[in-house]
Structure 1
Amino acid sequence: FSLCICVCVFRPLLAQSRVTFTGVVQDESGAAVAGAKIALMRQISSQTLETTSGEAGRFSFEELSPGEYLLKAEASGFNPYEQILTDRPEVTEPFRINLKVGSVKTQVTVTLDDEDEVSTAQTNTTSLRFSNDLLGGLPTNSEDILPVLDRFIVPGTQGAEGTAILVDGAEGTELDIPSEAISRIRINRNPYSAAFQNPGTGRIEVSTKRGHRSYYEGSFAIHARNSLFDARNAFAKFKPDSDRRLMQAKFGGPLPGRQASFYIAAERLMDDESAVVNAVTLSGPFAANVPTSERVYRTFTRLQWWPSELHTIFGTYDFKNKSHENDKVGGFNLPEQGIHTSEYGHKFTLRDNALFTGNVRNELILSFQKERQNMGSPATAPAVIVKEAFTGGPSQSTGRETKTIFDMNDTVTRLGVTHSFIFGSRFRTARIDALDASNFGGTFEFSSLPLFAAGMPYVFRVSQGDPSVVFAVRETSGFVQDDVRVREGLNLTFGLRYSWQSITDDRNNLAPRFAFAFSPGPKRKTVLRGGAGIFYDDLPRAARRRSLLLDGIRIRHLVISNPSFPNPFLGGILSSSLPSITRVASDIRSPYLLHSTIGVEQELRDRISVSVEYTFMRGLNLFRSRDINAPLPATGMRPYPNFLNIDRIESTAFSRSNAVTISFSGRLGKFSRSYAKYVLSKSIDDTSGTFSLPADNYNLRTEAGSADFDRRHRFNFMQVLELGRGFQFGTIFSTASGAPFNITTGFDSNADTLANDRPFGVTRNTGRGPGTVQLDLRIKKVLVISHLWNDESRRGKQQVVELSLDAFNVTNHTNVTHMIGVLSSPFFGGANSADAARRFQVSLNYEFPY
């Protein structure tokens, strides 16, 4: 390859309309040059638009904001092409690039780290792509954008450990990098790809930024929020104090030799908030704002090297250090329940992309991660829990965990005219070194406030023994996929995936996948899409840890029914000689999700589409826990007399979901980018999670009910408006009907030592809470400052100052977070906590190219 660099300078009049830039690439004879790489980079940010010239040599970039751009073109066997274009806000004729034949000696920009979309089945209206510019225009907590992304994740498609998050192809469950390191985010890209374990609607794919090879750029930003301008939380007696400061910085550019680049981003969060306690004690209602403190420091470094025209390598290093004072306080948890938590970790990732021929690419990803989490300190006295009234005494949460994870992923892609094959494999091993000394101080549990006043707990629990354990979990998977272009307008995808996990040892996890996209007619305005597939899940590592610790040998549970108070050993039924244990069922299987969709997408006009999609999901072999040694209903005797409780983790639960989704995506006019999504759904299941125990261990039929996440109606809308004169207006609006909640008596009527019994005839999740409404807004002003240098090499470069004001929960709607379903609670039928009330945030961002 050879590279030509042209500087395209558009008038920096921010009130000007967006424009379209089109062109054609030709050789000296006038023949079209197909396959030329064209890149257009905006000077005031790191945004890069890329395309490839078609068979006729044509290319185009649409909806460009006025400003300064750097245009790059590259083609095999041609000399650099240089041309300065000035004052061209819009062209009526395609711009012609004439390339001259030359030798291959100059640098290249091969975007091997970008995902090539080889099938129209991968792009659809229901898929989302957040570019860096789009994220910058939306109201977000800049250090944590996951709450925004989670609004567009389909509940029920996540795994047992949460939404799958892939950063530069390396899979995890957290997004722990500075937001300034994010280049783009994709949700629901290629929903039925065999390359991934989760469906597209339960997967977030993040690509990080890289440094430019032709110039340096940097920025510094500060975001601030203070309770002086906030509204009072609905459950707080007084406005909670808060003072929040977030500082972010980035810097990147070429390394010596211009064959490599670097990019560094860092952020520091100092957040002093207040947790709202809303409880009832013997003295009456108790409401307090408890000061909390959070400190977060995160860095991201990316080094990228281009050894040749067909090869690129980059490595990243992530570091995080978090601490939280008075964690776990709020709601029913009284101030003395606060603990100190901390977390720090390192992660190294190496990604190697190589083009062996013109249509074969190999991608190798290696990652190493080490994290340590610390929580609380040893309790010196028992805790007291009064069901849905208050939790007092010292917190019983104490422990630490160190995770060491190695991950290797290799994928080969072969592109063809009719068939495009993708195959690959993954190996992952995790070593867990944990110490869990929770409840070593003991806990008294009461069914109601009157029984607490009378000193009559229904149970006392305490743990004793060795709380440490070390174990390993290994996972491996492989896949093959064929994307078939049957004819113009008809594409099919066939895939097969296999996965295995050491702690379940289920060896027949074959997951077939299929998808299609059909667009009839010559204009291709209508697309019929559909697909079906099987998606297996893994047993959470926490299940393995709990089964090893609570085996009756390492840790023994002392359980006293109806003990005396405050000294539990003066009376009651002593069961200390009978250990309570947790086991993983010997016949446990990997749960799987049957996922299928069918829909139609209609392009209303250029870049504006609407779609209607029906989704059916059926989950089988889902995880749940069950006490297989609970007292028999007829005799009250336990089946295994040598044990008290035997909580067995099983794969016997199910789920079922039906949903209709209407999506809108496009640009309304020249100044608006919008996305809207409405979902009508119904989801039922008979488990609330891996460690959730049923009300009746011998009658699981009453567990079937609305899923915890079941909200009949959900609507999400986001939009960024270009108002002219450098102003942007961003909106995120979300509303949903109420979620279900469980109704229980608060008493242990069946003597299984748990007060989760339900009234006669009441099944799980019978209650239904109120709906939610959240409106967030951002107004941003962009000021462009031209450099004063006269140096030709710096001509046209600009500095940018961005001023932003965010308003969260503008309508100050009370979005409750915990509905009370315990009949013995003074809060029954209501709520005692809610999301934050209306808040404001101001931001200042300074960007400087060099």
Structure 2
Amino acid sequence: MRRLIPALLLAAAAAFPIAAQSHLASVRGVVLDPSGAPIPQVTLRIRNDATGEIKTAVTAADGRFAVATLSPGAYAIEIEQTGYKKYVSRTELRVGQDLWLEAALTLGSVSEEVAVTAPAVPLEQESAALGAVIDGRQVAGLPLDGRNFLELSLLAPGAAPAPQGSASSLRGDFAFTVNGAREDAHSFVLDGVYNIDPKLNTPGVRPAVDAIREFEVLTSTYDASFGRNAAGQVNVITHSGTNLWNGTLYGFFRSRSLDARNFFAPADEPAPAYNREQAGGSIGGPIVRDRTFFFADYEHTRLREGVTRVTNVPTLEERIGDFSRSLLPQPRDPSTGQPFAGGRIPDAFIHPVGRAIAALYPAPNRDAPLANFVSSPTLRDDVDQFDVRLDHGWSGGATLTTRYSFSDRRFFEPFASAVGVPGFGTDVPRRGQNLAVSLTQPLGPAAVNEARFGYGRVAIGVFHENQGRSLNREVGLPEISSNPRDFGLSQITVTGFSPLGDEFTTPQESAADTIQLLDTITWARGAHMVKAGGDFRHVRQNAYRDVQSRGFLNFSDRYITGNALADLLLGFPLVTGAAVLDNPQKLRTSAWSAFIQDNWRLRRDLTLSLGLRYEYVGPGVDADDRANLYDPATGQFVEVGTAGMPRGGYEPDRNNWAPRIGAAWTLGPSRRTVIRAGYGVYYNQGALSTGEGLYFNAPYFDLDLFVPFPGVPPVTLTDPFPQSYPIALPQSATAYQRDLQTGRLDHWSLSIQRQLGSRRAVEISYVGTRGRDLIAARDINQPAPSPNPVNLRPNPLFDSITFIESRGVSRYHAMQLKFQQRFDRGLSFLGVYTLGKSMDDASGFFSSAGDPNFPQDSRNPGAEYARSSFDVRHRFSLSFGWELPFGAGRRWASEGAWSSILSDMELQGIVTAQSGPPLTVALLPEFDNSNTGRSTLGFGANDRPHLVGNPKLDDPSPDRWFNTAAFAVPAFGSFGNAGRNIVEGPGYQNVNLGLLKHIRLSEETRLQLRAEAFNLLNRTNFDLPDGFVGSPTFGRIVSADNPRRCQFGIRLMF
């Protein structure tokens, strides 16, 4: 029965052509005579001002009409009826809008005209959905640092930046969260088709600002036509051509000569590098007037930016074994247990490999204890991209839209991991493509069908800076892999200093193709606007990910000499490990959904939104079934597709029903107040990367750990990854919860919206979200903590067993305020304030800078429930545009020389302020203090300290952000009692301001000059402090966001 019902829903939708969410708008309403009675058989004409396209409708017996699938833009709605004056209403339709119009005719002659202008900020009377819409004028005008339109997502109520160091941001992507949902829970839609990099659920392509017609973010209680993911629905519409030729040419330029200095950049040295150039243009117009149009744009960006970071490195004396003047513990001779004489290690004791590794550290350049090195290596970001769009209309009302987008990016991040010295960054080349083809066809006077095809491809790599250069062999370490793509330097951790080595998850490369088939019907009858629909998606990803292909070595100050650097010099690592792998990925998955949605105008003042959606998400499988998984039932590896092991490791979840209900009640005769409420169930497809767990099990991936063991000689730098070992080494493994559920979010909201005049509206909302069955991981082979030197795991044949399961939970509650004014007396603005609280037991599948998202105690994951890593208690944003009141026809300086200088100027700005996100205080990742082993996810060893005091300081500073004395290392073989995310990091305040001057060159050509400042007030917005007990910079902040930067631009518009 569970399989039959979804099949019946899909079959019903197929018989009644199906749809997914549409970016198109609709207009419906009623035509009334002066007494308020409906007028039947009245013809309406709805004309698109830009393209000249005309659609008609005839009112039914009850005076109602409906016109669907209208492209966003400016429209004139005309009614001519004998005995009445001609009615003309001008309105601006936004993306996805369902506009209700009550046209009251006036007695008179059709030669007379009654002009009506719709409110610039109309009340939302048809839907319970919450969010924000940013039109093309704002997208192009607001000062966006990097001109990345996705930053506008943060102007929506409930939106907040993603955690620092999150999986998406490390690849150079812009990431954000909405209403307590994770950063990978959003859907990105471009011209009606999904625009997704499925690996981490980030946008596949990012159109240039000048290509965007409108940008919408829906954040809560949206209707059943929206799916795939459960959080923000980001809907972008590109420009189309019109009957008028129009276009732009532009260039934006920055240089460090006008910029402020980063807080941590040494004042006695040249400022870090910074140069940014961006240039491009767009053009659109008619191929056949009123029939066929085209639009195209191109943009290229070149960025060079010094990234400043402070860390600790050995002094020149320490790196040769002289600790006589060191702040570090005096090293002990491991053969006697006594300190070396004079704090100096005899040269004969120093291992040549250890000496060579220590020499890789740069010399200190700051006179600051335990933070003696600062550097500003250069980040590089080069992008070339373009979009091409073609629109064609037939006389019968059918339209065809085709759009192709391409983006090629070359990104280099100098600090891609915990390594704080230059030389170990990552190159991230990325090529994205997206194709959308949409055919809209009338199906009679009250129904329209829209069929769509989408194709997306994202090819991305993450390559370590030293790829192909065998730094291991240069210092005397072996290369584990014979493939030159893996050559580099092992990850080397020395307690008290910056780590060394290339990022351990590199190299990796993937190419993901997504094929989409979608179809849309919109049908209006009487008081009902009905949609029914669905979509099908197939994803194929070919990839490799050479995790730990160079191995790692950890040196600690707790066991051999009491000094981690001395252990390195003597050649005694505490733990080493390396992987031998042959696990190319051929991951495949398919998903489909079906829904039905009815917006029912029950009364003039009441609309109900009723919908039901079904989602099916297939498990990722390997095309060749070349994978093994751990089976908890048998305690052994099982080949997928055999012995009852599903091909994807788990059975598909077939019970993803998503009912949604909303209501909008318009109050009083003035109809200026609307109360809206909604509730809905939303399912999350999740990122494809979690499906890569198929590929990290023996024999295709064999990770060996070499740890101290009683009676076994210690591993040394002479042979750090021994081929033969006196004891059998247990293998790490991966397993899936056999009945893994699709992640689910429940949304609910209650809002009151009030119109203030024709151009202003204020809204206050309560928003709630509950997450359950969220993807998470833990180690099901973790032993109980114990001080015993040998602490066997429950299954001693295996090391850590990463168990991927749907146990995650979350809660979010918020009050949200929104005040908006569309252009009035030269001023427009959008102000948003959110007071919210987000709680969960894991804020993502992968770790971020301040949270491992992996339990300290895998036997008690409920203890992880705490503030989300992205929890921002207070957040305020204000975006505005103000045409200055100077020049001809304005209040001041309307004549004379000042008039020509000051006329046609405007200010555009974005003001942001928020409280700080939390972070987790933990023990050093290489220090397994609980003696429960290390995980392959999270920080490694995910132990936390004891909380012995109040970590909050009354006057925090970058040198001491929290009370480090409030934390203590627990006794060996025990867990700490400190909770997750109990320290609050720095808040954020920022002002971006742009001054624009328009110069009219001709009737149809204007030149725009721009001067913009980002972080105008040059406020230092600090990053998270170092939260690792035992780190030399514990409790200190060692990096900050960008200082003030200036940009100049020129833009020709014709």
TM bucket (normalised to shorter chain) is 0.7 to 0.9
The change in CA–CA distance for 1:595 and 1:450 in structure 2 (over 3 A counts) is farther
1:168 pairs with 191, 198, 209, which one?
191
* Runs of 5+ unmatched residues, structure 1: 1-23, 25-30, 64-82, 84-91, 97-116, 787-796
Deviation at 1:164, TM superposition (A): 1.7
- Determine the structure 2 residue equivalent to 1:253: 285
The change in CA–CA distance for 1:320 and 1:133 in structure 2 (over 3 A counts) is same
TM-score normalised by structure 1 residue count: 0.84
SS in 2 for 1:507: coil
Residue identity matched to 1:52: I
* Contact 1:379 1:395 (C-alpha < 8 Å) held by counterparts: no
* Contact 1:158 1:164 (C-alpha < 8 Å) held by counterparts: no
CA distance in 2, matches of 1:750, 1:719: 53
| More off after superposition, 254-263 vs 563-572 | 563-572
* Runs of 5+ unmatched residues, structure 2: 1-30, 32-39, 53-70, 93-110, 117-121, 160-176, 197-201, 316-363, 365-371, 468-485, 620-650, 709-713, 847-852, 886-902, 935-939, 946-975
Which structure exhibits the higher relative contact order, with contacts defined as CA atoms closer than 8 Å and separated by 6 or more residues? Answer: 2
- Determine the structure 2 residue equivalent to 1:140: 144
Give per-residue Cα distances to partners, 1:138-176, cap 9 Å, x unaligned.
111354121232342363455662432111111223152
Give per-residue Cα distances to partners, 1:780-833, cap 9 Å, x unaligned.
0111121xxxxxxxxxx4111011111111121222233321111122223222
The change in CA–CA distance for 1:570 and 1:426 in structure 2 (over 3 A counts) is closer
Asked if 1:719 corresponds to 2:877, the answer is: no
Give per-residue Cα distances to partners, 1:637-694, cap 9 Å, x unaligned.
2122221111011111211111111111124852111111111111111113224321
SS in 1 for 2:1028: coil
Residue identity matched to 2:456: Q
CA distance in 1, matches of 2:440, 2:809: 41
Asked if 1:288 corresponds to 2:297, the answer is: no
Residue identity matched to 2:1028: V
Deviation at 1:119, TM superposition (A): 7.4
The change in CA–CA distance for 1:222 and 1:264 in structure 2 (over 3 A counts) is same
Q: 5 Å matches for 1:803-818?
A: 803-818=1009-1024
1:560 pairs with 686, 690, 706, which one?
706
* Contact 1:776 1:808 (C-alpha < 8 Å) held by counterparts: yes
Residue identity matched to 1:662: L
CA distance in 1, matches of 2:738, 2:535: 26
1:534 pairs with 666, 681, 686, which one?
681
- Determine the structure 2 residue equivalent to 1:334: 421
Deviation at 1:59, TM superposition (A): 3.0
The change in CA–CA distance for 1:800 and 1:699 in structure 2 (over 3 A counts) is same
Residue identity matched to 1:485: R
Asked if 1:361 corresponds to 2:448, the answer is: yes
Q: 5 Å matches for 1:279-678?
A: 279-283=311-315, 285-329=372-416, 332-376=419-463, 377=467, 378-386=486-494, 389-396=497-504, 397-446=506-555, 450-455=563-568, 457-503=573-619, 505-545=652-692, 547-562=693-708, 564-566=715-717, 567-569=719-721, 577-633=729-785, 636-667=791-822, 669-678=824-833
CA distance in 2, matches of 1:393, 1:527: 59
Deviation at 1:255, TM superposition (A): 1.5
SS in 1 for 2:210: helix
CA distance in 2, matches of 1:231, 1:492: 54
Deviation at 1:571, TM superposition (A): 12
Residue identity matched to 1:470: K
| More off after superposition, 568-577 vs 718-727 | 568-577
The change in CA–CA distance for 1:716 and 1:187 in structure 2 (over 3 A counts) is same
CA distance in 1, matches of 2:230, 2:550: 44
CA distance in 2, matches of 1:326, 1:710: 26
Residue identity matched to 2:879: M
CA distance in 2, matches of 1:331, 1:750: 22
Deviation at 1:612, TM superposition (A): 1.4
CA distance in 1, matches of 2:219, 2:920: 35
2:856 pairs with 695, 702, 705, which one?
695
| More off after superposition, 194-203 vs 135-144 | 194-203
SS in 1 for 2:731: coil
Residue identity matched to 2:153: L
- Determine the structure 2 residue equivalent to 1:5: none
Deviation at 1:570, TM superposition (A): 7.2
Q: 5 Å matches for 1:765-804?
A: 765-786=981-1002, 797-804=1003-1010
The change in CA–CA distance for 1:576 and 1:838 in structure 2 (over 3 A counts) is farther
The change in CA–CA distance for 1:633 and 1:331 in structure 2 (over 3 A counts) is closer
SS in 1 for 2:564: helix
SS in 2 for 1:782: strand
The change in CA–CA distance for 1:574 and 1:366 in structure 2 (over 3 A counts) is farther
Deviation at 1:120, TM superposition (A): 2.1
- Determine the structure 2 residue equivalent to 1:106: none
CA distance in 2, matches of 1:430, 1:51: 42
Give per-residue Cα distances to partners, 1:547-603, cap 9 Å, x unaligned.
122022211101122464534247998877322122222121111111101121122
Asked if 1:183 corresponds to 2:183, the answer is: no
Deviation at 1:447, TM superposition (A): 5.4
TM-score normalised by structure 2 residue count: 0.68
SS in 2 for 1:148: helix
1:35 pairs with 37, 41, 44, which one?
44
- Determine the structure 1 residue equivalent to 2:9: none
| More off after superposition, 391-400 vs 834-843 | 391-400
- Determine the structure 1 residue equivalent to 2:1029: 823
Higher strand share: 1
- Determine the structure 2 residue equivalent to 1:750: 930
SS in 2 for 1:133: helix
* Contact 2:86 2:114 (C-alpha < 8 Å) held by counterparts: no
Deviation at 1:521, TM superposition (A): 1.0
1:52 pairs with 71, 77, 81, which one?
77
Give the number of aligned pairs: 761
Aligned residues: CA RMSD:
3.1
2:126 pairs with 118, 121, 127, which one?
121
The change in CA–CA distance for 1:778 and 1:473 in structure 2 (over 3 A counts) is same
- Determine the structure 1 residue equivalent to 2:913: 735
SS in 2 for 1:224: strand
- Determine the structure 2 residue equivalent to 1:208: 238
Residue identity matched to 1:184: E
The change in CA–CA distance for 1:685 and 1:159 in structure 2 (over 3 A counts) is closer
Residue identity matched to 1:728: E
CA distance in 1, matches of 2:859, 2:240: 57
Give per-residue Cα distances to partners, 1:8-47, cap 9 Å, x unaligned.
xxxxxxxxxxxxxxxx9xxxxxx9975212344599xx99
* Contact 2:180 2:810 (C-alpha < 8 Å) held by counterparts: no
SS in 2 for 1:121: coil
CA distance in 1, matches of 2:399, 2:823: 38
* Contact 1:281 1:389 (C-alpha < 8 Å) held by counterparts: yes
| More off after superposition, 258-267 vs 487-496 | 258-267
Residue identity matched to 2:921: I
1:155 pairs with 150, 160, 178, which one?
178
Asked if 1:224 corresponds to 2:256, the answer is: no
CA distance in 2, matches of 1:616, 1:712: 14
Give per-residue Cα distances to partners, 1:239-263, cap 9 Å, x unaligned.
2111110011111211247521111
Asked if 1:197 corresponds to 2:240, the answer is: no
Give per-residue Cα distances to partners, 1:200-239, cap 9 Å, x unaligned.
9612110011111x23222210011111111111222252
SS in 1 for 2:1018: coil
* Contact 1:119 1:483 (C-alpha < 8 Å) held by counterparts: no
* Contact 2:147 2:209 (C-alpha < 8 Å) held by counterparts: yes
